[in-house]
Chain A
Amino acid sequence: MRRTIKLDYADAIGGVLLIVGGIWFALYAMNYDMGTARRMGPAYFPFGIGCLVALFGLGCLLGALRRAGAMPVIEWRPFFAICGAVLAFTLVIERFGLIPATIALVLISALADEKPSATVTIILAAALCLVGVGIFSWGLGIPMPILRWTN
């Protein structure tokens, strides 16, 4: 027999995260000098903020216990593809330059689509290389390596 639990999952998870984060933030702030109310040290304000975050997290959690709510659904495919694309850009840009970074970003981000098309992606990557170099390097004169082989 299945018992139905009445719980707003989104708010409950959010509330727990806020409580944990708030307490951690307040405790971490204690590493610094607290000072007095008259002369507040660097720990004073963050400590208060951390406590308030935890308090409101508790409010969020308590509210979630009284009502039902859908479990959030994570769309893993776009999530990994987009994060991977940004990560690839981060890793490539400093060592190899803008053009390889653009190509890496476009190719990986294309995987977020359900049915990625190779032709469209390659044309887009080429076009965006031109646009990126044209606008940012030539147009705005931002000093950025366009293409480099050695580091």
Chain B
Amino acid sequence: MELFSNLALGFSEAFSPQTLLYCFIGVFLGTFIGVLPGIGALATISMLLPLTFHVPPTAALVMLAGIYYGAQYGGSTASILLNLPGTPSAAVACLDGYPMAQKGRAGVALFLTTIASFVGASLGIIILTAFSPMLSSVALSFGPADYFAMMVLGLVAAATLAQGSPVKGISMVLVGLALGMVGTDVQTGQQRFTFDIPQLSDGISLVALAMGLFGVAEVIASIRRMGRNEGAKEKITLRSMMPTGQDMKQSTLPMLRGTGIGAIFGALPGAGATIASFISYAVEKKVARDPSRFGKGAVEGVTAPESANNAAAQTAFIPTLTLGIPGDAVMALMLGAMIIQGIQPGPRLVSDHPELFWGLIASFWIGNIMLVILNLPLIGIWVKMLAIPYRLLYPTILLFICIGVFSVNNSAFDVLLVMLFGIFGYAMMLLRFEPAPLILGFILGPLMEEHLRRAMLLSRGDLMVFMERPISAGFLLSTAALLAWAGYGLLRKRKADSLEAVEAATPAADLARRAP
């Protein structure tokens, strides 16, 4: 079996001491920042992007991926104990997790979220392993026109399915595309939008952009919000974590349903872990015999969404690794890290860099087992970390951002860019524009232009090429359908919206409203 020899290759790569170490650092940091509200996977991954310059590609990607799925494990801890989500996708865990904690069942909730996370993630990895090679062999037959159309679909899907208004989402994708144009034009050597600043001739640094938007802006916005953070009072002992047989029985099916929902939504561009967890909660509430238990500490309300967001975190790698199309901002940063390492993302990744692809998949297994160990016997450490005051955290975060950016090129100019993008990101946050679609557009912009130019050259300037090729026509028709659906939703929402415009200001309320 080819699959087994591939997996053997992957495990031999993942078990090398260096990769193993970086895998551990990744999941450890992931849990850490997942537990802490006020800093998320995006900020951490952008903070560690510069580090990847000094590390071999597989180890670097293993670490960055570990942060991402590790954060999904840790995210629910603060939701359960403090009613304050550690990550956006754990917001739904507040609904029933916090009531469980108030009933003195915090330990059980924490235990079950870890189990649910592991179940969701394991099944997610199996789906990833089964579908990726298939999908990438299909994608090998794509021409430039198909690629361009696929990227259009990916970007539009990411902008319309994500939270907030589709018009604003697409605007942000376009702004990202525009920022991606800065630098030297690959085909003609023309300097574009560089304003004679030599540091801009290679384009805007992804690291500086990501850290400004997700790091600095987030810090500015969080300081006042996080000021009154008091630590959890509960003591979590191993004994208090043991669930009853009834709990386990009630959770088994919801975990599987959650995994299914998560696996589908994770693989779709733009949907991702947060939406998957909200939808899975809504589904559990629908199928439950007694829906009134939800919101008062129902076990299914904690386990199903937890399985969903972990499954989604794994299947999100499918389009990223096989097509080179990132589904969300974290995946866009992963692609950025690959490009930094000189690896061209796309369908050839699986065949050209099998050690990277299979090593990454093998590391997911190892990382998830590490996470179970980190989250069950060692949960007490994480609970204590919730007591770290934000006024100690934010200067530390800021310092790591600055040193990290500076170290890439030893350039103070890049740090200045971080500040400018921080201001830009804070303005976006105030005006309620999402930064994630911007990063997607920024990464895909240059690739899109290249494929468009190539497609037009092959077709001698005839735009009909996009409709004549069945694959690209299919992608474009799906894009049109998606836009029509979003437009229809916008019109229908308008009436209801004018009443609750103020309430919609918080993304959680917005999502909860959209989920069912």
B-binding residues in A (CB < 8 A): 8, 10-11, 13-14, 17-18, 21-22, 25, 28-29, 32-33, 36-42, 45-46, 49-50, 52-53, 56-57, 59-60, 63, 66-70, 72-75, 78-79, 82-83, 85-87, 89-91, 93-94, 98, 101-102, 105-106, 109-110, 112-114, 116-117, 120, 124, 128, 131-132, 136, 140-144
Known contacts A74-B430, A114-B224; 4 further A-B pairs (Cβ under 8 A): A40-B456, A49-B445, A86-B398, A90-B402
CA–CA, A142 to B453, complex, Å? 40
CA–CA, A35 to B515, complex, Å? 46
Closest to A68 in B: B501
Return chain A residues, CB-CB under 8 Å to B54: 140-142
- Which single member of B178, B190, B412, B452 contacts A93 (CB below 8 Å)? B412
CA–CA, A60 to B453, complex, Å? 30
- Which single member of A52, A57, A87, A102 contacts B419 (CB below 8 Å)? A87
CA–CA, A136 to B402, complex, Å? 12
Return chain A residues, CB-CB under 8 Å to B165: 11, 60, 63
The reply to whether A113 and B227 contact each other, CB–CB distance below 8 Å, is yes
The reply to whether A46 and B181 contact each other, CB–CB distance below 8 Å, is yes
Q: With A40-B452, A142-B54 known to touch, is A86 a contact of B216 (CB < 8 Å)?
A: yes
Return chain B residues, CB-CB under 8 Å to A68: 498, 501-502
CA–CA, A10 to B207, complex, Å? 28
Q: With A28-B193, A67-B497, A128-B396 known to touch, is A37 a contact of B431 (CB < 8 Å)?
A: no
- Chain A nearest CB: distance from B329 CB in Å? 19
Return chain B residues, CB-CB under 8 Å to A112: 220, 223, 394
The reply to whether B399 and A128 contact each other, CB–CB distance below 8 Å, is yes
Residue B423, interface by CB 8 Å = yes
The reply to whether B395 and A109 contact each other, CB–CB distance below 8 Å, is yes
A-B contact pairs, 11 of them (CB 8 A): A10-B430, A18-B175, A39-B461, A45-B448, A49-B181, A56-B167, A59-B171, A60-B171, A82-B422, A93-B402, A140-B54
- Which single member of B167, B220, B432, B452 contacts A45 (CB below 8 Å)? B452
Closest to B177 in A: A49
- Which single member of B174, B494, B501 contacts A52 (CB below 8 Å)? B174
The reply to whether B167 and A60 contact each other, CB–CB distance below 8 Å, is yes
- Which single member of A33, A69, A93 contacts B188 (CB below 8 Å)? A33
- Chain B nearest CB: distance from A59 CB in Å? 5
Return chain B residues, CB-CB under 8 Å to A89: 399, 402, 406, 415
The reply to whether B461 and A36 contact each other, CB–CB distance below 8 Å, is yes
CA–CA, A115 to B461, complex, Å? 63
The reply to whether B188 and A25 contact each other, CB–CB distance below 8 Å, is no
The reply to whether B461 and A38 contact each other, CB–CB distance below 8 Å, is yes
The reply to whether A113 and B391 contact each other, CB–CB distance below 8 Å, is yes
CA–CA, A32 to B185, complex, Å? 11
CA–CA, A17 to B431, complex, Å? 11
Return chain A residues, CB-CB under 8 Å to B353: none
Residue B102, interface by CB 8 Å = no
- Chain A nearest CB: distance from B286 CB in Å? 31
- Chain A nearest CB: distance from B482 CB in Å? 15
The reply to whether A109 and B190 contact each other, CB–CB distance below 8 Å, is no
Return chain B residues, CB-CB under 8 Å to A14: 168, 171, 431-433
- Which single member of A28, A52, A120, A142 contacts B391 (CB below 8 Å)? A120
Residue B410, interface by CB 8 Å = yes
Residue B219, interface by CB 8 Å = yes
- Chain B nearest CB: distance from A8 CB in Å? 7
The reply to whether A98 and B461 contact each other, CB–CB distance below 8 Å, is no
Q: With A49-B181, A144-B406 known to touch, is A90 a contact of B419 (CB < 8 Å)?
A: yes
The reply to whether A82 and B181 contact each other, CB–CB distance below 8 Å, is no
Residue B287, interface by CB 8 Å = no
Return chain B residues, CB-CB under 8 Å to A13: 431
CA–CA, A82 to B460, complex, Å? 52
Return chain B residues, CB-CB under 8 Å to A41: 188, 190
- Which single member of A40, A42, A59 contacts B167 (CB below 8 Å)? A59
Interface string of B280-315 (1 = CB under 8 A from A): 000000000000000000000000000000000000
Residue B376, interface by CB 8 Å = no
Residue B418, interface by CB 8 Å = yes
Interface string of B483-516 (1 = CB under 8 A from A): 0000000100010011001100100000000000
Interface centre among A29, A42, A67, A120 (most CB of B within 10 A): A42
Q: Which residues of chain B in 454-475 are interfacial with respect to chain A, using CB atoms and an 8 Å cutoff? A: 456-457, 460-461, 463
Residue B403, interface by CB 8 Å = yes
The reply to whether B431 and A29 contact each other, CB–CB distance below 8 Å, is no
- Which single member of B175, B220, B423 contacts A21 (CB below 8 Å)? B175
- Chain A nearest CB: distance from B340 CB in Å? 16
